[in-house]
Amino acid sequence: MLIDSYDRVVDYIRVSVTERCNFRCQYCMPEKPFSWVPKENLLSFEELFEFMKVAIDEGVKKIRITGGEPLLREDLDTFIKMISDYAPDVDLAMTSNAFLLKGTAQRLKDAGLKRINVSIDTLKPEVAEAIAGRNVLKNVLEGVEEALKVGLEVKANMVPMKGMNADEIFDVLEYCRERDITVRFIEYMENAYAKANISKLSGQEVLEALGEKYNFTSEGYDGASPAKYYRLENGYRFGIIEPYGDDFCKQCNRIRLTAEGNLIPCLYFDEAMSIAESVKKGDIKTAAAVLKEVVRTKPEKNRWGGEDDEVSTRAFYETGG
Ligand code: SAM
Ligand code: SF4
Residues 269 and 314: beta-carbon distance below 8 Å: yes
Whose C-alpha lies nearest to ligand 2, atom 4?
A: 25
Residue 164 vs residue 4, higher pLDDT: 164
The per-residue pLDDT for range 39-80, each reduced to its tens digit, is 889 999 999 999 999 999 999 999 999 999 999 999 999 999
**320: pLDDT confidence band, cut at 50, 70 and 90?**
confident
**Ligand 2 midpoint to CA 73 (Å):** 14
Q: Write down the pLDDT at residue 181.
A: 98
Q: Give the residue, out of 24, 29, 36, with the most ligand 2 atoms within 8 A of its beta carbon, to mutate for a pocket test.
A: 29
Which residue, 108, 298, 76, 117, is CA-closest to 225? 117
Q: Strand pairing partners for 117? A: 95, 155
**Ligand 1 midpoint to CA 95 (Å):** 8
Residues 157 and 186: beta-carbon distance below 8 Å: yes
Secondary structure letter of residue 224 according to DSSP: T
* Nearest atom in ligand 1 to 188's CA: 24
The per-residue pLDDT for range 212-244, each reduced to its tens digit, is 999 999 998 887 788 999 999 999 999 999 877
Q: Write down the pLDDT at residue 305.
A: 64
The per-residue pLDDT for range 104-150, each reduced to its tens digit, is 999 999 999 999 999 999 999 999 999 999 999 999 999 999 999 99
69-87 as b/e: b if 16+ CB within 10 A: bbbbbeebbebbbbbbeeb
β-pairing, 153-158 with 273-274?
unpaired
* DSSP H or E segment with residue 149: helix 137-149
Q: What DSSP string describes 117-144?
A: EEE---S-HHHHHHHHSS--HHHHHHHH
Cβ partners under 8 Å of residue 261, min gap 6: 43, 47, 51, 274, 275, 276, 279
Q: Is 97 in the pocket of ligand 1 (CB under 6 A)?
A: yes
Whose C-alpha lies nearest to ligand 2, atom 8?
A: 68
Cβ partners under 8 Å of residue 131, min gap 6: 25, 26, 121, 122, 161, 164, 165
Q: Write down the pLDDT at residue 310.
A: 63
* Nearest atom in ligand 1 to 119's CA: 5
Asked whether residue 11 carries a pLDDT value surpassing 70, the answer given is yes
**Ligand 2 midpoint to CA 168 (Å):** 19
Q: Is 95 in the pocket of ligand 1 (CB under 6 A)?
A: yes
Q: Write down the pLDDT at residue 196.
A: 86
**4: pLDDT confidence band, cut at 50, 70 and 90?**
confident
Q: How far is C-alpha 181 from the geometric centre of its chain's CA atoms?
A: 16
Q: Write down the pLDDT at residue 288.
A: 95
Q: Write down the pLDDT at residue 287.
A: 94
Q: Give the residue, out of 69, 122, 164, with the most ligand 2 atoms within 8 A of its beta carbon, to mutate for a pocket test.
A: 69
Whole-angstrom distance, CA of residue 290 vs CA of residue 307:
32
Asked whether residue 248 carries a pLDDT value surpassing 80, the answer given is no
Q: Give the residue, out of 157, 176, 264, with the most ligand 1 atoms within 8 A of its beta carbon, to mutate for a pocket test.
A: 157
* Nearest atom in ligand 1 to 317's CA: 9
Q: Which domains does the chain have, with CATH numbers?
A: 12-318 (3.20.20.70)
State the chain's mean pLDDT as an integer.
92
Residue 4 vs residue 306, higher pLDDT: 4
103-to-139, 142, 146, 173, 192 alpha-carbon distances in Å: 10, 10, 8, 26, 34
**Ligand 2 midpoint to CA 304 (Å):** 20
Q: Write down the pLDDT at residue 311.
A: 67
pTM: 0.93
Q: Write down the pLDDT at residue 192.
A: 84
